[in-house]
Each structure stands twice: as C-alpha cells, then as structure tokens.
Structure 1
Amino acid sequence: MDIFMHILWNNVLPLSIIIGLGILLHRIFNLDILTLSKLNFYLFSPAIMFELLYGTAISLQLFGQVLLFFIVFMLAQYALLEVVVRLRKYDGGKRAAMRNSVLFYNSANYGIPINQLAFAGNAYTLSVQIIIMMMQSLVPNTYGIYSVNAHKANWREIRKVILSMPVIYVIPIAFLLRGYHVPLPGFLTISIGYLSNAFIGTALFTLGVQLGTMKGTISRKLALDVGIASALRLLVGPLLAWGVVLLLDLHGMMAAALIVSSAVPTSLSSVLLAVEFDNERDFASQTVLVTTALSIVTVTGVIYLLRA
C-alpha cells in the first residue's frame, strides 16, 4: 500500500494536474500546440538529455550491458508488434502510431522517479535508467520520425528532418565533454539547467493541450486499439524484459532496474511525434493518458514482484 500511495501522490497525481491545466487553458485560449511541440523537440528535450549525460558517471561495461539489453528488448517488442499490426490490418499511419506507443516509453519524468523509489536512490540503478532514457530519447528522434513519415514522404525528406533534431548531436557532445573533463562555463550550466527543468512540465502541458482538442468520446474501434497498446506496454513489456534479462544472464540490481525501466507507461514522445507530424494524434494522446493512469497498478505490481 505504501508503494501504491507513493506512486499515486508523487507520480500520477502531479502528472495529472499539469495535463489537466493543459486541457483547461486550451479550452479557454485555444493554444497553438505546434509551437509547444517544437519547443519540446528543439529546446527542452535536448537540454535535459545533455544535463543528465554530462553530469552522470557511467562505466563502459555498464553502458555495453544496458545497450545490449535495450537492443534485444526493442527487437522483441518490434517482432510482437509486427504480429499485432498485421492481424489488425493497420494502415501506414496507424501502424506507426501503434509501434511508437509501445516502443517508446516514459523513461525520463516517470522512469527516473520510479527508479529512485524502487531502489532507494541507488546510484548504480540510476545510471542504468539514464542509459535507457538516453536511448529512449535517441530512437524517437530517428526511427520514430522515420516511422510516422515513411508512408507519406521520401527518404531524402525524412533524413533532412531527422538530421535537424538537436538531440542526436547533444548525446555525443555530452559524452565527449564529460570524457575529456571539459568544464562548462557557469552561465552555460545555469542556462541549460533552466531549459532542462522546463522539459517535464512543458511536455505534460503539451499532452493536455492535445487532449483538450478532442471533442466527444472516442470510438469503440479507437478504444480497442488504445487497449491493445496499453496491454502491450504495461503488461507484455515487463514480461519481455524479464525474458531478455534471463536470456542475457543478467542478475541482481541491474536485472531488476532493467525490468522496472520497461514497465513504465507510453512516452510523451509518441504524442509529440503525432502532433509534430500530424499522425494519429487522438490515438497517441489517449494511449499516453490510459497507460499513465493504469500504471499506478501495473508498475506497483512489478516492483512488488521484484521485491518478493
């Protein structure tokens, strides 16, 4: 019960309040969601990624093990999704939205607090989560952009969009600066900190604005698809992660941290991609909302089982 209440009060409720403010203010002022989306993609997301990678010590061995897990886990999810999208006979846009809603999970503003809760602020497990977060930032800004545009644009146009994403440059720069112990000027550190702190609130607010654009209830067909995506993300995800951990013979705190990292709800990146490139906005928004609400039960269950 303590874990349940902690997740409710410290994760789900704060997220819900900011999402609710986005809905309310959009209904009052009719806010420009595309501007909010661009702020997230081009400013706040790169800032938080740089700050965490530059400020965290990560060994090469740890990085390699977590990266191997991530690759195998993503391939396993992708293979399962291929079965689902073929059985459901989704078109190009819906196929991409379903993949993004399952493959991209909230490893930053949900995953890091949950990691801190589950492992009592352990620095080792936090490093594991930061690597996962790095990959979960890189993949949506590369594969994610490709997937939502592949059915309606040529490769040259898609490549141009991908190469315009700052986060793909921020990651190697942060590693190089940390690796060579290059200090940042104080004024730059402060500026990056301000931008980094703005990411979570702006991303959640953007989700609220998108939800505020919806009129009426979702259709039965959309509800079923949201339910499928939610089950794949919250239930199947941790099971696949457990299988990959066994396959790679990972143990102890690393294994537990990787399984917990896989149990979190759908990432806000799926909504930002849907908004930025006008691809199944309602489905993406509803999936983030539903998985975030249900995660209070599913994530608590995963943490409980790992402690048992």
Structure 2
Amino acid sequence: MDIFLHILWNNVLPLSVIISLGIILHRIFNLDIKTLSKLNFYLFSPAIIFELLYGTAISLQLFGQVMLFFVLFMLAQYALLEAVIRLRKYDGGKKAAMRNSVLFYNSANYGIPINQLAFSANAYTLSVQILIMMMQSLVPNTYGIYNVNAHKADWREIRKVILSMPVIYVIPLAFLMRWLHVPLPEFLSISVGYLSNAFIGTALFTLGVQLGSMNGMLTRKLALDVGIASALRLLAGPLLAWGVVLLLHLDGMMSAALIVSSAVPTSLSSVLLAVEFDNEKDFASQTVLISTALSIVTVTMVIYLLRVS
C-alpha cells in the first residue's frame, strides 16, 4: 500500500495537474500545439538527454549489457505487437500509432523517479535507467519518425526529417565530451540545466493541450484499441523483459532495474510524434492518459513481485 500511495502521490498526481492545466488553458486560449511539439523535439528533449549522459559515469560493460537487453526486448515487443496488428487488421496510420504507443515508454519523467523509489536512489540502477532513457529518446527520433511517415511519404523526405532531429547528434556529443573530459563552461551548463528542467513540464502540458483539443466522446473501437495498447505496454512489457533477463542471465540488481524500466506507461513521445506528423492524435493521447492511470496498479505490482523496495 505504501508503494501504491507513493506512486500515486509523487508520480501520477503531479503529472495529472500539469496535463489538466494544458486542457484548461487550451480551452481558454486555443493554444498552438505544433509550436509546443517543436519546442519539445528541438530544444527541451535534447537538453535533458545531454545533461543526464554528460553527468553520469557509465562503464563499457554496463553499456554493452543494457544495449543487448534493449535490442532483444524491443524485438520481442515488436514481434508480439505485429501479431496483434495483423489480428486486428489495422491500416497504415493506426498501425504506426499502435507501434509507437507500445514500443515507446515513459523512461524519463516516470521511469527515473520510479527507479529511484524502487531501488532507494541506487547509483548503479540509475545508470541502467539513464541508458534506457537514452535509447527511448533515440528510437522515437529515428524509427518513430519513419514509422509515422512510411505510409504517406518517401524515404528521402523521411530521412531529411530524421537528420534534422538534434537528439541523434546530442547523444554521441555527450558521450564524447565526457570520455575526453571536456568541461562545459559554467554559463552553458546553467543554460542546459534550464532547458532540461523545462522538458517534463512542457511535454506534459502538450499532452494536456492535445487532450483539450479532442472533440466528442471516445468511440467503442477507439476505447478498445487504447485498452489493447495499454495492456501490451503495462502487462506484456514487464513479462517480456523478465524473459529477456532470464535469457541473458543478468545479475539480480540489473535484471530488476531493467524489468522495472519496462513496466512504465506509454511515452509522451508517442503523442508528440502524433501531433507533429498528424497521425492518430486522439488515440495516442488517450493511450498515454489511460496507461499512466492504470500504471498505479501495474507498476506497484511489478515492484512488489520483484521484492526490491
């Protein structure tokens, strides 16, 4: 019960307040969601990735193990997801939205606090979570962009968009500067910190604006699709992660951190992609909202079953 209340009070309710503000202010002022989306993609997201990677010590062995897990886990999720997509006979746009809603999970503003809660602010498990967050930032900015555009644009146009994303340059830059011990000037460090701190609030506010722009009630079909995506994310996710860590024979602390990292709800990046490229925005927004609400129960159960708290 303590874990349940902690997640509710320190994770879900703060998120809900900012989302609600987005809904209210959009209804009053009719805000421009495209501008908010671009701020997240081109400014705030690269800043938080750079700050965390530049400021965290990560060994080569840890990096290799987490990357191997991530690749296998994503392949397992993708295989299960494709089976569901074929069974449900989704078309191009819905197919892309379903993939993004399941494959991309909230490893930053939800995953990091949950990791700190579950493992009592352990530096080793935090490093694991930061690497997962790095990949969960890189993949939406590459494959995610390709996924939402593949059914309506050619490869040259998609490649141009991907290459314009700052995150794909920020990640190697942060690793290189840390490896070479290149100091970041104080004034730049302060600026990056300000931008990094703005990421979570702006992303949540953007979700609220999108929810506020929805017209009418959810249809039965949309509700079913949202339920399927949430189940694949919250239930199948940690089960597949458990299978992968068993396959790789990872040690107890790392395996627990990776399973917890896989149990979090759908990422805000799925909404940002849907908004930026006009693809199933209502479905993406509702999936983030519902999976976040349901995660109060599912994440608590994962932490309890792992006996890590």
Q: Residue 265 of structure 2 aligns to which amino acid in structure 1?
A: P
Provide the TM-score with structure 2 as the length reference: 0.99
| Counterpart residue number, 1:282 | 282
Whether 1:83 and 2:83 are equivalent positions in the alignment is yes
| Counterpart residue number, 1:259 | 259
| Counterpart residue number, 2:215 | 215
CA distance in 1, matches of 2:98, 2:124: 32
Deviation track 1:14-72 (CA, whole Å, cap 9, x = no partner) reads 00000000000000000000000000000000000000000000000000000000000
CA distance in 2, matches of 1:58, 1:110: 21
CA distance in 1, matches of 2:250, 2:52: 25
CA distance in 2, matches of 1:5, 1:84: 33
| Counterpart residue number, 1:201 | 201
Deviation track 1:64-96 (CA, whole Å, cap 9, x = no partner) reads 000000000000000011101111111111000
Consecutive unaligned residues of structure 1, counting only runs of 5 or more, are none
CA distance in 1, matches of 2:221, 2:34: 27
| Counterpart residue number, 1:11 | 11
| Counterpart residue number, 1:92 | 92
CA distance in 2, matches of 1:170, 1:215: 37
Consecutive unaligned residues of structure 2, counting only runs of 5 or more, are none
CA distance in 1, matches of 2:215, 2:299: 30
After TM superposition, the structure 1 = structure 2 runs for residues 10-29 of structure 1, keeping only pairs within 5 Å, are: 10-29=10-29
Displacement of 1:137 in angstroms is: 0.2
| Counterpart residue number, 1:306 | 306
Q: Residue 132 of structure 1 aligns to which amino acid in structure 2?
A: I
Displacement of 1:251 in angstroms is: 2.0
CA distance in 1, matches of 2:9, 2:124: 25
CA distance in 1, matches of 2:289, 2:41: 20
| Counterpart residue number, 1:159 | 159
Q: RMSD value over aligned CA atoms?
A: 0.5
Displacement of 1:270 in angstroms is: 0.1
Deviation track 1:244-275 (CA, whole Å, cap 9, x = no partner) reads 00011112100000000000000000000000
Displacement of 1:216 in angstroms is: 1.8
Displacement of 1:10 in angstroms is: 0.2
Provide the TM-score with structure 1 as the length reference: 1.00
| Counterpart residue number, 1:134 | 134
CA distance in 2, matches of 1:249, 1:224: 36
| Counterpart residue number, 2:74 | 74
